[in-house]
Amino acid sequence: MIEIEKFQVRGLPGYVHKVKFGNRTVDYWAPQEPGEHLVVAHDGQGVLDKRNIGINPHQRATWELGRSAFNAAQARGVTPPTLICIYHTPYAEDNNGRLKEYTPEIYMNKDENWLQESYGVYRDNVATFVTELAGERFLDEITQVIVPEITDRVGQTALPEKSAVLGASMGGLASIYAVIRRPEFFHTALSFSPHWVIGGDLLAEKMMKEFPAPGHHKLWMSRGTKGLDARYEQSQDLANRLIQERGYRSSIDYIGRTLNRGAHSNATWARYLPSALNFWLKDHTS
């Protein structure tokens, strides 16, 4: 791990650290005296540091994870969580790197798993692409390298029951997948606008049936009603029904939410975030 810079963001005391693990960039923040809670965020380049968002500076919006996490923890009377925001592989390095890392690998590793309309995110030869999926390798990098090195550096022990993973769109799928594949590491998935359209109802069915049994884990799923998010309605409704049929209880260990007029954007996801963090933290006050 090599430190690149330190910077400040609104709502957080002290500094965010930007570091490199090989070619992988990560932003992280920890309170001066770390507590027990930990958040790992996908698409880290748009979570804390708006300088990474390649549009007009006046239109840039991050997830505002720092301020929301700090405020949610204060409201609960707990130490704010350590935040680890992991960038995807840069497009300049591999134009499909993000898609390879965030695709739920074991459910999408055959070309027949991909719906034709999913070519909106992948337009080339799917039969070749599925041999290059990196979801499992990416999870190993997170759980075996990135999180252990950062928590060791800040003096924190990663506790599964107090660790959450969050993301949106393909990152939303990746967050659910992380809990399915590493249930001993993450107990909560906060998934915003999960991009079901790559595999449709069949993907939603597979993932909800293999999400860990209720009792120790929690799941938040949400979508908007505008633009791309409107296309998720059928599969998201199915996912909501299936997870409840498995015994997940609404507002206790599961929330499925629709934000009227919500869009597929950082600004919309930032609106959801305080509620999602409160849902995660509410059973972990001590």
Question: Which tens digits make up the pLDDT trace of 151-181?
Answer: 999 999 999 999 999 999 999 999 999 999 9
Residue 108: predicted pLDDT: 95
**Residues 6 or more apart whose Cβ sits within 8 Å of residue 24:** 86, 87, 89, 141, 146
Nearest-5° Cα angle at 272, 218 to 213: 10
Query: What's this model's pTM, rounded to 2 decimal places?
Result: 0.95
What are the φ/ψ torsions at residue 54 (nearest 5 degrees)?
A: -85, 55
Q: Where are the domains of the chain?
A: 2-281
Asked whether 130 and 70 are in contact (CB, 8 A), the reply is no
Residue 175: predicted pLDDT: 98
Stretch 55-71: mean pLDDT: 80
Half-sphere exposure of 26 (CA within 13 A, CB side): 24
Which position has the higher pLDDT, 141 or 129? 141
Stretch 115-124: mean pLDDT: 65
Asked whether 84 and 40 are in contact (CB, 8 A), the reply is yes
Stretch 1-7: mean pLDDT: 96
Residue 50: pLDDT over 90: no
**Residues 6 or more apart whose Cβ sits within 8 Å of residue 222:** 191, 192, 193, 255, 256, 257, 258, 259, 262, 272, 276
- 285: confidence class by pLDDT, cuts 50, 70, 90: very low
Instruction: Please name the fold of domain 2-281.
Output: Rossmann fold (3.40.50)
- 51: confidence class by pLDDT, cuts 50, 70, 90: confident
Residue 120: predicted pLDDT: 56
Q: What percentage of the chain exceeds 70 in pLDDT?
A: 94
Residue 58: predicted pLDDT: 47
Among the residue ranges 14-18, 26-30, 280-284, the one predicted with the least confidence is 280-284
Q: Which residues of 67-97 are buried (b: 16+ CB within 10 A; e: fewer)?
A: bbbbbbbeebebbbbbbbbbbbbeeeeeebb
Collapsing DSSP to helix, strand or coil, 84 comes out as strand
Residue 123: pLDDT over 90: no
